[in-house]
Amino acid sequence: MQCQELLVRGLSLVMILGGIMHFICLMKSHAAYGRYVDTSGSSMMVPARLAWFLQELPALLVPLILMLTTDGNNGTGRHLMLWTFCLHYFQRSCIYSLLTKGRPYPFDIMLFGMVFCSINGFLQAHYLLHCATYHNTWFSEACLLAGLIIFFIGMGINIHSDHILRSLRKPGEISYKIPRGGLFEYVSGANFFGEIVEWLGYAVATWSLPTFAFAFFTICFIGPRAYHHHRFYNEKFKDFPRSRRSLIPFIF
């Protein structure tokens, strides 16, 4: 398959514009899933574990299918970065989904997530397999190494923070508590901070428009959620640490 440069640029720009629109909307009102979902409404609900599995799975399957159907040697760097992308979504779809203790998920939001993961999975895989060119320069090698280090640091923060959140609830509990430990000592959205760091590292390693567009969209989509979680804890708990920030330690 040849590189569809116009398609790659178009999808990347749509993702950037979509991120801006989501940021504006989500700063005013939070996305209606998780703690903010209205289970008394008329929306069809899906069990949280099934919803997370189905929602995240396309971002794993689409790149794998493209890799299996692409002929020739596409370079170690390209495959390395695509495998890191797949690693994240394997963890989210096959591990996180089985461990989550979240509330039922609205079907329409799950469907939107599936569509987004399908498109983004195609965009990232098609770019890396058919469009990306890497040169053996100090800059590209430095970006690749630094980006991978940042990516795995972010992934570690994300997984550890999710573990802390799950540990807050005993079997059958649905109430919310103040998360403590790890980066939660500094921010209310430590899990979101970790995921943002992941995709910023991924963008630095590949140094491309599609990956930066995805990192930007991630910031715009889950950044406001961290802000709303912070307000939720601050309003609900009198003993909430006042020095804690929403998303970025010591800053925001």
Query: Where are the domains positioned within the chain?
Result: 43-134, 137-168+182-251
Amino acid residing at 250: F
Using one digit for the tens of pLDDT, what is the confidence trace for 109-150?
999 999 999 999 999 999 999 998 877 776 788 999 999 999
Q: Distance between CA atoms of 196 and 43, rounded to whole angstroms?
A: 30
Q: What is the pLDDT of residue 30?
A: 74
Q: Distance between CA atoms of 243 and 239, rounded to whole angstroms?
A: 11
Which residues of the chain have a pLDDT value below 50? none
Q: Please, what is the end-to-end C-alpha distance for the chain in angstroms?
A: 44
Amino acid residing at 69: T
Q: What is the pLDDT of residue 41?
A: 64
Which residues are CB-contacts of 227 (< 8 A; sequence separation ≥ 6)? 27, 189, 246, 247
Q: What is the pLDDT of residue 140?
A: 80
Q: What is the pLDDT of residue 72?
A: 60
